[in-house]
Amino acid sequence: MIRKVRQYIEKHQLLTQHAKIIVGVSGGADSVALLYVLQRLGYNCIAAHCNFHLRGDEADGDEQLAHQLATDWNIPHHKADFDTRQIATQRGISIEMAARELRYTWFEELRQQLDAEAIAVAHHEDDNIETVLLNLIRGTGIKGLTGIAPKAGHIIRPLLGVSKAEILQFCEEKSLPYRTDSSNLQDTVARNKVRLNLLPVLQTINPAVRT
């Protein structure tokens, strides 16, 4: 997978050699694999973790894992705490939207503060498929059917060329610890409905729908 990610970075010109990168690390398999791969590729990584305080002890466990990984791998680590529910109420937006805005705003502030070249986030191939389906359901135009961009401003997505299954297999092969966000297993938001309900049905029609 390391070779595959390197080729994807080169193909889409996501980074210069030995670039300093802010890496969003939630503690999940995707972000743990991303941090591991980028460090092995020789980039100057800085781990960044957001605690949105939405899942109690589970969120604190995610923070502890992100901190421990950065410490064990000798990677600089930064974290931010947010009262996400209160901010969502104040702004009149959903909790999911508030978390997204808080995360990317802080990442950009950190990037500027540390003079980093880019912000790497762990969207992968399956996320891209889900995004295309969501956009289609919502009545998107042609642009929406292109899915997630490899690069948007300073945001880069080096894992878009690999699947969730590849990431999980890689974590197992490398004995990388990670945590599973229990909220991803609940079909209370649109993306989870697509992932948990729609995609399995589509795969009964066409098993190659994820490829």
* 86-144 per-position pLDDT tens digit: 999 999 999 989 999 999 999 999 999 999 999 999 999 888 877 766 766 666 655 55
- Average pLDDT over the chain, rounded to whole? 88
β-pair partners for 70? none
- Domain spanning 2-181: which superfamily? HUPs (3.40.50.620)
The domain limits of the chain are 2-181
Q: How many Cα neighbours within 13 Å face the side chain of 128?
A: 20
pTM strictly above 0.95 = no
Looking at the DSSP bridge assignments, the partners of residue 58 are none
Q: Which pLDDT score is estimated for 147?
A: 77
Higher pLDDT, 103 or 181: 103
Cβ 162 vs Cβ 9: under 8 Å:
no
CB count within 10 Å of CB 188 equals: 7
Q: How do strand 20-24 and strand 44-51 relate by DSSP bridges? A: parallel
Angle, CA 9 vertex, CA 72 and CA 18 arms, to 5°: 55
